[in-house]
Amino acid sequence: MRNDGFDQFKGSHDYVTSEPLRNAVNVSIALGRPLLVRGEPGTGKTLLAHSIAKGLGKNLIVWNIKSTTKAQEGLYVYDTVQRLNDSRFGDKDVSNIKHYIKLGKLGQAFTSKEQDVLLIDEIDKADLEFPNDLLNELDEMSFYIPETNETFKAIHRPIVIITSNAEKELPDAFLRRCIFHYIEFPDPSLMEEIVRVHYPDLKKSLLEQAMSAFYSLRQIDQFRKKPSTSELIDWIHAILASGIGSIDPAKELPFLSTLIKKESDYNLFMTTYAKRRQLKVSETS
Amino acid sequence: MFTDFFYTLRERSVPVSLTEWMALMEALSKGCITNLDEFYYLARAILVKSEAYYDQYDVAFQECFKGIQVPPEITEQIMEWLKDPFNRLQLSPAEMALLETMSLDELIEELEKRLREQDEQHDGGNYWIGRGGTSPFGHSGAHPAGFRLGGSGGGRSAMKIAEERKFRNYRHDLTLDVRQIKVALRQLRQLNRIGPEELDLDGTIDATCKNAGELEFIWKRSRKNAVKLLLLMDVGGSMEPFAHLCSLLFSAAHSSSHFKDFQYYYFHNCVYDYLYKDIERRDRIGIDHVLRTTESDYKVVLVGDACMASSELIDSLGSIYYYERNYRPGIARLKQIAQHFTHCIWLNPESKSYWNHPTIAAIAKVFPMYELTIEGLGQAVKKLIVKR
């Protein structure tokens, strides 16, 4: 039973959402259009789809796009090489093409018996023509296999979530058909909620120290890659696992390699900022 | 409905199409939007397809919907407040007199006037709308006849968010800055596409048949789109920070995606007989030599403000450096470059509105000229990779 209301998705207990994001998800479900999510790496775009599937109790199909992916692969794959091999060596019956047609992820979503959530992850990794090739299928929710002369039409329109890292520009015709949302980097209060979801027993003082250290690292413009949400969560995990009770601003930050991933950034931090922190603390003490 | 909003968005260069507008109308007709805030998010999700346009959306939203939300709420509040006779008792006799003289409409006008005048939060005063003060408007104050305005509520109102304009940094039409290098680099990625290895089906079938049916796989590499780049930068004076920025940008692009060849030279104001290998312009190389030794399939990017006295561009011996002694005018040299190379573009840090200056216009006729913004960079790169 489909509820046409705009309030189906309320988030799930292990994924914190902001109100604009919930709104965007509900709009996309109600209008039946795919949702395109963009944001900095590590802001939880992929996890959003998992959270939607969990929140609405639907099955999740994940299609990870690589740079070599072609749109056709999402619909179906006709395994010619296997058929050639079987005809030469095997005893299988090669006259029926249907045995060699395997449905791709999009095809699976269309032919599923119930409404599924389809995640197309990192669509901008693929070729520039890739989103255009999918246009027709996403619009009409049906595709045609010329080899077997069959048309597959979606029984239930799947909820399509598309994530993009903003590596390449996506074609306009594709963007027209999507609902768009940009996940901003969370502000401190939202970040606190997110951390609390993962570590409900975290001490308030440790959390505050970690957050202040994290945000001060993000202020440094010269970093090639600033630490993101997922790195903060890993860092806190490392701190908790090692049993460190508090972070002393005067001393070196523990487990810095979970936050800073580039060697140049690490060197920059150690030479300039570590010294400055020590100087500052010795001034105030 | 809201067609003004549609046209205002387009005026602000947010690319909204009719299809998207109809989708918005469809969503509105399903009837689940109850207030302006929800409309703000709904329209943004459906109409704006890149965070680069979020700021322009905020500006357009403010333009169209400013002042809509506030009056109805005040009227209701005031009416409710005034209906309660107990509240009236708290007014001093002087204030009661004032209340008699001013009609309700005038009171509302006064309130709106103060709302417009005040543009920041103000606490503890007695005129502005704020908190904890004795002004009649605001909340948590000590004035007996105060109207409660604002204060804690669920979420921030859409107007507030639109006014904050927190997406200003995501815009793509501001002059390039060091902080945007990362985004600009992505635009340059279009310059380099290497294909992966793939199965050559025809070749495989052919080879298999020749092999009496034993499978033999043939692999081939898709065509490499190898790019050779020549960067010419105007240095000296006001152009220096931009030259530095550009050299940073293109060398970053080179170190990350390795152009087949990358060369850069400097010039001042205009290209005359020599190009320089260094910024101080001491180590020079003749332009004829460069043109002879560089193949014409190099992509050429010139960066400069193209702004100089007309004589510097058009006259022989026009260079402002006496000892440069160029017998061929600068414009002739530029035309020489444009004719030798198949793909050239000019990046100008000045905004388009200044491009009616005579020398800029003249140079724009020789090379396609683009602004030195992220958007301009993207368009310029597209021009560079298009096939002739």
If asked whether residues B116 and B204 sit together in one domain, one would say: no
In Å, how far are A203, B89, B106 from B84, measured between CA atoms?
A: 48, 9, 20
Q: Which of B273, B275, B281 is nearest to B237 (CA)?
A: B281
| Amino acid identity, position B248 | L
In chain A, whose CA is at the least distance from the CA of B45?
A180
Q: Which of B137, B133, B117 is nearest to B125 (CA)?
A: B133
| Helix B36-47 with B18-29: angle, nearest 10 deg | 140
pTM, 2 dp: 0.62
Q: What is d(CA A163, CA A120) in angstroms, rounded to the nearest whole number?
A: 6
Residue-wise pLDDT for A98-144, tens only, equals 888 888 898 888 888 888 999 999 988 888 788 888 888 888 888 88
Facing B54 at nearest CB: one of A4, A84, A182? A182
In chain B, whose CA is at the least distance from the CA of A177?
B20
Q: Which residues of B touch A (CB under 8 A)?
A: 15, 17, 19-20, 23, 26-27, 30, 32-33, 38, 41-42, 44-46, 48-51, 54, 155, 170, 178-179, 186, 189-190, 196, 198-199, 201, 208, 213, 215, 378
| β-strand partners of B179 | none
Q: What is d(CA A88, CA A90) in angstroms, rounded to the nearest whole number?
A: 6
Domain assignment of residue B153, yes or no: no
Higher per-residue pLDDT: A179 or B157: A179
In chain A, whose CA is at the least distance from the CA of B189?
A168
Decide: A232 and A190 in contact? Cβ < 8 Å: no
Question: Which distant-in-sequence residues (6+ apart) come within 8 Å of B11 by Cβ?
Answer: B60
If asked whether residues B366 and B295 sit together in one domain, one would say: yes
| β-strand partners of B370 | B347
| Amino acid identity, position B40 | Y
If asked whether residues B255 and B374 sit together in one domain, one would say: yes
Q: The tokens of B278 are what?
A: 């260094």
Report whether pLDDT(A170) > 50: yes
Domain assignment of residue B365, yes or no: yes
In chain B, whose CA is at the least distance from the CA of A221?
B179
Q: Rounded to a whole number, what is the distance in Å from the CA of B269 to chain A's nearest CA?
A: 31
Contacts of A33 in chain B (CB under 8 A): 23
ipTM of this predicted structure: 0.73
pLDDT band, residue B3 (cuts 50/70/90): confident
Q: Could A85 and B215 be called an inter-chain contact, meaning their C-beta atoms sit closer than 8 Å?
A: yes
If asked whether residues B96 and B218 sit together in one domain, one would say: no
Q: What is d(CA A24, CA A173) in angstroms, rounded to the nearest whole number?
A: 20
If asked whether residues B258 and B355 sit together in one domain, one would say: yes
Q: How many other C-beta atoms can be found within 10 angstroms of the C-beta atom of residue A144?
A: 13
Q: Which residues of A touch B (CB under 8 A)?
A: 4-7, 19-20, 23-24, 27-28, 30-31, 33, 36, 38, 67-68, 80-81, 84-85, 88, 166-169, 172, 175-182, 221
Domain assignment of residue B13, yes or no: yes
Helix, strand, coil fractions of chain A, as percent rounded to 5? 45, 15, 40
pLDDT value for B270: 86
- Taking residues A228-251, what's their average pLDDT? 82
- Taking residues A251-255, what's their average pLDDT? 78
Contacts of A182 in chain B (CB under 8 A): 50-51, 54, 170
Domain assignment of residue B30, yes or no: yes
Q: What is d(CA B351, CA B362) in angstroms, rounded to the nearest whole number?
A: 16
Domain assignment of residue B360, yes or no: yes
Q: Could B196 and A67 be called an inter-chain contact, meaning their C-beta atoms sit closer than 8 Å?
A: yes
If asked whether residues B366 and B255 sit together in one domain, one would say: yes
Question: B72-76, B280-284, B380-384: which range is least confident on average?
Answer: B72-76
Q: What is d(CA A164, CA A247) in angstroms, rounded to the nearest whole number?
A: 35
Q: Rounded to a whole number, what is the distance in Å from the CA of A182 to chain B's nearest CA?
A: 6
pLDDT value for A1: 30
Question: B30-34, B189-193, B259-263: which range is least confident on average?
Answer: B189-193
Contacts of A81 in chain B (CB under 8 A): 199, 215
Q: What is d(CA B311, CA A261) in angstroms, rounded to the nearest whole number?
A: 53
pLDDT value for B367: 92
If asked whether residues B367 and B249 sit together in one domain, one would say: yes
Facing A179 at nearest CB: one of B45, B190, B215? B45
Q: The tokens of B151 are what?
A: 């204060």
Q: Rounded to a whole number, what is the distance in Å from the CA of A245 to chain B's nearest CA?
A: 35
Domain assignment of residue B189, yes or no: no
- Domain A19-183 coded CATH 3.40.50.300: yes
If asked whether residues B287 and B356 sit together in one domain, one would say: yes
| Amino acid identity, position B219 | W
Report whether pLDDT(A61) > 90: yes
If asked whether residues B54 and B138 sit together in one domain, one would say: no
Report whether pLDDT(B236) > 90: no
Residue-wise pLDDT for A25-51, tens only, equals 888 888 888 999 988 877 888 888 888
Higher per-residue pLDDT: B115 or A221: A221
Decide: A28 and B30 in contact? Cβ < 8 Å: no
Helices (H) and strands (E) in chain A, counts: 12, 9
Q: What is d(CA B251, CA A1) in angstroms, rounded to the nearest whole number?
A: 57
Decide: A86 and A92 in contact? Cβ < 8 Å: yes
N- to C-terminal Cα distance for chain A?
65
Question: A1-15, A183-197, B154-168, B300-314: which range is least confident on average?
Answer: A1-15
Phi/psi at B350 (nearest 5 deg)? -70, 150
Domain end marker among B108, B129, B148: B148
Q: Which of B29, B30, B157, B156 is nearest to A8 (CA)?
A: B30
Q: What is d(CA A51, CA A10) in angstroms, rounded to the nearest whole number?
A: 10
Q: Could A6 and B32 be called an inter-chain contact, meaning their C-beta atoms sit closer than 8 Å?
A: yes
Domain ranges of chain A: 19-183, 188-284
Q: Which domain holds residue B335?
A: 228-385
Q: Rounded to a whole number, what is the distance in Å from the CA of B294 to chain A's nearest CA?
A: 30
Place of tokens 């389809």: A118
User: DSSP letters along B191-204, please?
Assistant: G-B-PPEEE-HHHH
User: How do beta strands B274-276 and B284-286 pair?
Assistant: antiparallel
In Å, how far are A17, A55, A238, B157, B162 from A190, measured between CA atoms?
A: 9, 20, 21, 18, 20
Decide: B286 and B273 in contact? Cβ < 8 Å: yes
**Burial of B228 per CB tally in 10 Å (0-12, 13-18, 19+):** middle
Q: The tokens of B222 are what?
A: 């898709």
pLDDT value for B234: 86
Residue-wise pLDDT for B71-127, tens only, equals 344 445 555 555 555 555 555 566 566 556 666 566 656 666 665 555 444 444 444
Q: What is d(CA B77, CA A251) in angstroms, rounded to the nearest whole number?
A: 55
Q: What is d(CA B143, CA B98) in angstroms, rounded to the nearest whole number?
A: 15
Residue-wise pLDDT for B291-337, tens only, equals 888 888 888 999 888 888 888 888 877 777 766 777 788 888 899 99
If asked whether residues B135 and B206 sit together in one domain, one would say: no
If asked whether residues B207 and B141 sit together in one domain, one would say: no
Half-sphere exposure of B161 (CA within 13 A, CB side): 17
Q: Which of A122, A117, A120 is nearest to A39 (CA)?
A: A122
Q: What is d(CA A203, CA A6) in angstroms, rounded to the nearest whole number?
A: 37
Decide: B252 and B185 in contact? Cβ < 8 Å: yes
Contacts of B46 in chain A (CB under 8 A): 27, 31, 179-180
Q: Could A167 and B189 be called an inter-chain contact, meaning their C-beta atoms sit closer than 8 Å?
A: yes
Strands (E), chain B: 122-123, 130-131, 137-139, 147-148, 197-199, 219-221, 228-234, 261-267, 274-276, 284-286, 299-303, 343-348, 369-371
pLDDT value for B125: 47
Q: How many domains does chain B have?
A: 4
Q: Could B189 and A20 be called an inter-chain contact, meaning their C-beta atoms sit closer than 8 Å?
A: no
If asked whether residues B232 and B355 sit together in one domain, one would say: yes
